Structures are given as structure tokens and as C-alpha cells.
């Protein structure tokens, strides 16, 4: 890790914060103030980093324009990532296929010319993606209390708890978009979010079922279906 510059400063602050939260943090008012201070510092460094003019020479493209995200996730659009990354250049005709709306993973067409199933899936779920992104943005902007405004107190609490264990900042637009994508791709429905937050509260499957007015088997099935989703989404990290 090159410990020079604002980006490194942000990374360092985040790493310190992450280690603190995982070890020393007792969640008392002093620790919360400490976390708040570190978050402010990282935010400040990030703001400075965002304002800094980019000198990197992008081949023929305007390097100072704001980063454009893929419509379906937090990765840069084809044109931008093409400009940043030599390894993406696969041949002259590639230029023609690179879209300015989607990242390399979500291009409508695969390099072979066949239609891309990842694009189709993402297109079908774009509404849910926008919903989850909105919730993440609202919660991230003020992480002290549940702020997701999902219309369901348990889902709001899920987002509150989910973001408490992370150091992602409102300015990390790409990261938040990737998290919304992950939620949708993991098929993490609101029902599953309710089950997960109640599980986090320490309720067993029967208690969760009673609370939600569903069968215990439904709870058990939902939890089984979550087994392979990232631990962070399961509130287990
Ligand atoms: Zn994408």
C-alpha cells in the first residue's frame, strides 16, 4: 500500500475504523465520538480527494468529467473502464461494442455477439435496485438511527444494523451501488430482511415465525436459502 496522498489517507482511516469497530469498540458515548471523528476525517479526506484535479491522461477522453456508473451497479461504464484499463482492450471492434451506459459485466451483448444474461437479469430487477439504493443512501447519510424509510420498521432496522457494521460513506457512490446490486442479486427480499433482523435480535425460528405471522417452516426455508449469501448481508459480520 502506497501511504501517500488523499486516497491512501481515506483507506488508512477506514482500516483503522474497521479494526477499532471489530476489537476495542464498546459502543459507549466515548467510542461513538471516536468513531464519529474518524468518519469525519475520512469524509474530509475523501472530499478533498474528489475535488483534486485528475492529471491521469485518459486516451482522448476528458479525464476530469465525473465518473459515470453503470446503470445497474457501481462499476464504471464501458467507455470509462476502457480508458482506465489497458487489459480491457481486446481488439479494434471492441470500441464499437463498449456502451456508455453499462459496465463490462452488464453490457447487453457479450463479446461473442450473443445476448448477455446478466444484462437481462439486471434489467428485470432495476426497480428493486433503485429501491435498495435509495434505502442505502438514506441510511448511510445518517447512520445513528433507522433512516431507510422503507415503510416497514423491521426492514428499516435491518438497514440500520447492516450499515452500522461498515465504514462506507455517503460519498462512496460506487460502493453503495454495488451493495444495492448485491442485495438484489442475492434475492434478499424484505421478508428475508425482517427475518434476519429478528434473528440478530436473538429470536429463534418459532419466535420469528410468530412475530411475522408466518409458518416456522417458511422461516427455516428462508434462512436456508440465505446460507450462501455474503455474511455481511446476513448481519453475521
Ligand atoms: Zn454494471
Q: What is the pLDDT of residues 202-231, one digit of tens each?
A: 999 999 999 999 999 999 999 999 999 999
Please say whether the beta carbons of 160 and 108 come within 8 A: no
Instruction: Fill in the DSSP letter of residue 211.
Output: H
User: What are 228's three cell numbers?
Assistant: 450462501
* CA 82 to ligand 1 center in whole angstroms: 14
* CA 177 to ligand 1 center in whole angstroms: 9
* CA 63 to ligand 1 center in whole angstroms: 20
The pLDDT of residue 89: 47
* CA 70 to ligand 1 center in whole angstroms: 5
User: What are 169's three cell numbers?
Assistant: 460513506
Which residues neighbour 2 within 8 Å (Cβ) at sequence distance 6 or greater? 8
The pLDDT of residue 14: 75
* CA 17 to ligand 1 center in whole angstroms: 29
Which has the higher per-residue pLDDT, 25 or 212?
212
The pLDDT of residue 63: 44
Please say whether the beta carbons of 98 and 78 come within 8 A: yes
Amino acid at each position: 500500500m502506497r501511504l501517500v496522498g488523499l486516497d491512501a489517507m481515506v483507506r488508512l482511516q477506514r482500516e483503522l475504523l474497521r479494526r477499532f469497530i471489530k476489537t476495542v469498540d464498546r459502543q459507549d458515548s466515548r467510542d461513538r465520538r471516536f468513531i464519529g471523528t474518524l468518519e469525519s476525517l475520512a469524509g474530509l479526506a475523501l472530499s478533498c480527494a474528489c475535488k483534486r484535479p485528475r492529471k491521469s491522461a485518459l486516451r482522448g477522453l476528458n479525464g476530469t468529467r465525473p465518473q459515470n456508473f453503470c446503470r445497474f451497479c457501481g462499476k464504471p461504464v464501458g467507455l470509462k473502464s476502457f480508458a482506465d484499463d489497458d487489459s480491457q482492450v481486446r481488439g479494434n471492434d471492441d470500441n464499437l461494442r463498449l456502451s456508455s451506459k453499462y459496465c463490462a459485466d452488464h453490457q447487453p451483448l457479450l463479446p461473442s455477439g450473443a445476448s448477455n444474461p446478466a444484462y437481462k437479469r439486471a434489467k428485470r430487477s432495476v426497480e428493486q435496485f433503485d429501491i435498495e439504493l435509495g434505502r442505502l443512501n438514506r441510511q448511510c447519510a445518517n447512520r445513528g438511527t433507522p433512516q431507510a424509510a422503507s415503510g416497514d420498521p423491521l426492514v428499516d432496522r435491518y438497514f440500520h444494523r447492516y450499515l452500522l457494521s461498515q465504514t462506507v460513506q455517503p460519498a462512496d457512490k460506487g460502493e453503495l451501488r454495488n451493495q444495492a446490486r448485491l442485495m438484489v442479486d442475492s434475492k434478499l427480499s424484505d421478508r428475508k430482511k425482517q427475518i434476519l433482523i429478528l434473528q440478530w435480535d436473538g429470536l429463534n425460528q418459532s419466535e420469528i415465525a410468530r412475530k411475522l405471522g408466518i409458518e416456522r417452516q417458511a422461516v427455516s426455508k428462508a434462512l436456508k436459502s440465505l446460507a450462501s449469501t455474503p455474511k455481511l448481508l446476513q448481519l453475521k459480520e
